[in-house]
């Protein structure tokens, strides 16, 4: 479908240059550990994220679920915000795959602090679940691409360490946080025990995520990747796209952020839309519709009929996401359609 696709940064398509890298990839058998391009990607990702080792997996959901299963046993509990991706969008994976429950924190934009973790720790007793892991999602999707302040990450990690909790960072959009703040990935990851990062969102690769952490943890992740059906054979053709993304598509994320902010500032002034542009820190624009306008699903349908695609995320909430397949001219077109629909 032509038009402006703001549904997600997952709709990005590999460029001609990325396709050339895929075609030229040297491959082996990754399950047997000898695909050279996968090995190169894993080494590159571990160095980027400041960890001992890394593992390439098919998706961000698998990265998070493998991390949970590699740390937790059935009956354990994971502490996270109620907005967290692994709680909302991974089909009940923690319960189904690992037998763990989620102990939820409620914050405005998915960013909590050490006191929130301490308040949800279970006492050591045979009556209670065992608090075992904390998940930090940076940037936070349902929080509108919100960036975790580094100080929050450090404080959460400190309290987790005191209570022997594993801290996993769901960094699907970690590079967005780094580009927006000017920080290095290691500024965020040096405080956590493991991190996942997605190549198929703003970085523009067609498939894949990485899990990174200490070598014994990654060795255990290998086992559960296999168990969950995520082991791949000549995966170098996919890893080559991820390497290309790391080489060429990180710094350009700033363009997506500028587009998102411009869209947010324009639509915030339109009748019937509630949005504070200052909450748009990266490439995700979340806004609310006043009742006098129309329900979110109807608004989504009206926009789509005019060629602009987005997602209704609630009865009165809509999400728009900028990415490398959306140009400045297309942002102008989206703003024009917003004006038409809100005026109507």
- Domain spanning 252-343, CATH class: alpha beta
For residue 1, pLDDT over 70 is answered with: no
The pLDDT value recorded for residue 344 is: 83
Query: Angle 253-268/328-343 helices, nearest 10 degrees?
Result: 20
Q: Residues of CATH 3.90.1150.10 domain(s) within the chain?
A: 252-343
pLDDT above 70: percentage of residues in the chain? 99
Q: Are strands 209-213 and 53-57 parallel, antiparallel or unpaired?
A: antiparallel
Indicate the average pLDDT of the chain: 97
250-268 average pLDDT score: 98
155-164 average pLDDT score: 97
Q: Residues of CATH 3.40.640.10 domain(s) within the chain?
A: 14-248
296-307 average pLDDT score: 96
pTM for the model stands at 0.96
111-122 average pLDDT score: 97
70-95 average pLDDT score: 97
- Specify the CATH number of the domain 14-248: 3.40.640.10
The pLDDT value recorded for residue 164 is: 96
Reported confidence tier of residue 292, pLDDT bands at 50, 70, 90 = confident
pLDDT digits (tens, 9 = 90+) for 213-250: 999 999 999 999 999 999 999 999 999 999 999 999 99
pLDDT above 90: percentage of residues in the chain? 97
Reported confidence tier of residue 332, pLDDT bands at 50, 70, 90 = very high
The pLDDT value recorded for residue 203 is: 98
């Amino acid at each position: 479908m032509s038009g402006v696709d703001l549904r997600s940064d997952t709709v990005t398509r590999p460029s001609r240059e990325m396709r050339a890298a895929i075609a030229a990839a040297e491959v082996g058998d990754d399950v047997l550990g000898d695909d050279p391009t996968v090995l190169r990607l894993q080494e590159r990702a571990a160095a980027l994220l400041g960890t001992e080792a890394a593992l390439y997996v098919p998706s961000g959901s698998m990265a998070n679920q493998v991390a949970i299963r590699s740390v937790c046993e059935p009956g354990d509990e994971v502490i996270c915000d109620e907005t967290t991706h692994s709680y909302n969008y991974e089909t009940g994976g923690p319960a189904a795959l690992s037998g763990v429950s989620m102990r939820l924190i409620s914050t405005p934009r998915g960013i909590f602090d050490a006191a929130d973790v301490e308040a949800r720790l279970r006492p050591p007793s045979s009556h209670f679940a065992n608090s075992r892991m904390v998940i930090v999602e940076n940037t936070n999707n349902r929080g509108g691409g919100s960036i975790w302040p580094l100080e929050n990450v450090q404080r959460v990690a400190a309290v987790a360490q005191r209570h022997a909790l594993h801290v996993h960072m769901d960094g699907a959009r970690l590079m967005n946080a780094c580009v927006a703040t000017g920080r290095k990935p290691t500024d965020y990851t040096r405080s956590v025990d493991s991190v996942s990062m997605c190549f198929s969102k703003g970085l523009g690769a067609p498939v894949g995520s990485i899990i990174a952490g200490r070598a014994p943890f990654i060795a255990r992740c290998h086992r559960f990747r296999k168990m969950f059906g995520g082991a791949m054979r000549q995966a170098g053709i996919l890893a080559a796209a991820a390497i290309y993304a790391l080489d060429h598509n990180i710094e350009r994320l700033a363009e997506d952020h500028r587009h998102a902010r411009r869209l947010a500032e324009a639509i915030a002034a339109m009748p019937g839309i509630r949005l504070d542009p200052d909450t748009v820190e990266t490439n995700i624009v979340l806004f609310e519709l006043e009742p006098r306008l129309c329900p979110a699903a109807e608004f989504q349908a009206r926009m789509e009929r005019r060629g602009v695609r987005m997602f209704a995320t609630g009865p009165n909430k809509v999400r728009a996401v900028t990415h490398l397949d959306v140009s400045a001219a297309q942002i102008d077109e989206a703003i024009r359609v917003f004006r038409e629909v809100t005026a109507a």
